[in-house]
Amino acid sequence: MRDRVVIISGGTGALGQSIVLAFLAAGARVCVPYVVPAEQAALQARLGPAEAARVEMKPCDLADEAAVSAYVGEITAKHHRIDVLVNAVGGFAGGDLASTPLAEWNRMMTLNLTTAVVGCRAVLPDMTRARWGRIVNIASRAVVPPQGGFIAYTVSKAAVITLTQALAQEVRAHGITVNAVLPSTMDTPANRKAMPDADRSGWVSTESVARVVAFLGSEAADAVTGAAVTV
């Protein structure tokens, strides 16, 4: 991945930080748009001097198409390329159909789907001109097959899988691959807090998920597109 330019949306979250570190380990230059200053500081604290020199972080509302377009334009102007986009922004909400307010539906769709759509739309012109690109979306193992009890989350993450599969067909002739990674329950601070009595022996580490994401963003994955990879 040396000299590759990678955008990781959600790169300051628990999974996102592991993805950032995985791409840095592969030699990439990583650009991280963020919205939570405390998370940005936490990622910064994990970087050594050599890693920090290859990371660029800037505030950006990832659901705002104009803001994302401007952000991507700045990266293109500076580096003259965008090779990989990882859409790792996301959120979770419980609740069945009757109890989930419309506002919560909209929030789940914005966090989990709209941010991915906006990100893809912003980078595709550059990738198409280069005739090379990798897009990796983060969905969820919990929505295959679709589950009840957290229905807004289920529908929004299932839509990410559909977006991945349809977009892969649209751009495959341009040398661009689009894949989704579907983690099962991850061992994160938020999940430990939400499920303090759960058996964590079957939980997956964020590092394991990040390694799969990094592979799908590499040249080695040139023959993989439209896949929904469970971890």
Q: What is the pLDDT of residues 138-196, one digit of tens each?
A: 999 989 998 889 999 999 999 999 999 999 999 999 999 999 999 987 777 777 777 78
First to last CA, the chain: 22
Note the pLDDT tens digit of each residue in 43-65: 999 999 999 999 999 999 999 99
Residue 230 carries which side chain, given as an amino acid letter? T
Q: At 73, which CATH number?
A: 3.40.50.720
Q: How many domains does the chain have?
A: 1
Peptide bond into 183 cis (omega under 30): no
Neighbours of 44 (CB within 10 A): 14
Please check the confidence at residue 76 and state whether its pLDDT lies above 80.
yes
Please check the confidence at residue 41 and state whether its pLDDT lies above 80.
yes
Confidence of residue 224 (pLDDT cuts 50, 70, 90): very high
Q: In what order do the strands lie in the sheet with 55-59?
A: 55-59, 29-34, 5-9, 84-87, 133-138, 176-182, 228-230
Please check the confidence at residue 203 and state whether its pLDDT lies above 90.
no
Note the pLDDT tens digit of each residue in 79-124: 999 999 999 999 888 899 999 999 999 999 999 999 999 999 999 9
If 0-12 CB within 10 Å is exposed, 13-18 middle and 19+ buried, where does residue 79 land? middle
Confidence of residue 3 (pLDDT cuts 50, 70, 90): confident
Q: What is the mean pLDDT of the chain?
A: 94
Please check the confidence at residue 228 and state whether its pLDDT lies above 90.
yes
pLDDT confidence of residue 56 = 97
Query: In the numeric block, which tokens belong to residue 141?
Result: 């193992």
pLDDT confidence of residue 47 = 95
pLDDT confidence of residue 29 = 97
pLDDT confidence of residue 219 = 95
Cα separation, 102 vs 100, in Å, equals: 7
pLDDT confidence of residue 200 = 81
Q: Which residues contact 105 (CB under 8 A, 6 or more apart)?
A: 152, 155
Cα separation, 2 vs 107, in Å, equals: 37
Q: Residue 37 CA to chain centroid, in angstroms? A: 18
If 0-12 CB within 10 Å is exposed, 13-18 middle and 19+ buried, where does residue 15 land? buried
pLDDT confidence of residue 101 = 95
**Catalytic-residue membership of 153:** yes
Confidence of residue 197 (pLDDT cuts 50, 70, 90): confident
If 0-12 CB within 10 Å is exposed, 13-18 middle and 19+ buried, where does residue 87 land? buried
Note the pLDDT tens digit of each residue in 6-26: 999 999 999 999 999 999 999
For residue 55, which phi and psi values (nearest 5 degrees)? -120, 135
Of the residues 153, 161, 225, 229, only one is catalytic, namely 153
Cα separation, 60 vs 52, in Å, equals: 19
* Domain region containing 128: 5-230
Neighbours of 146 (CB within 10 A): 11
CB 228 within 8 A of CB 140: no
pLDDT confidence of residue 196 = 82
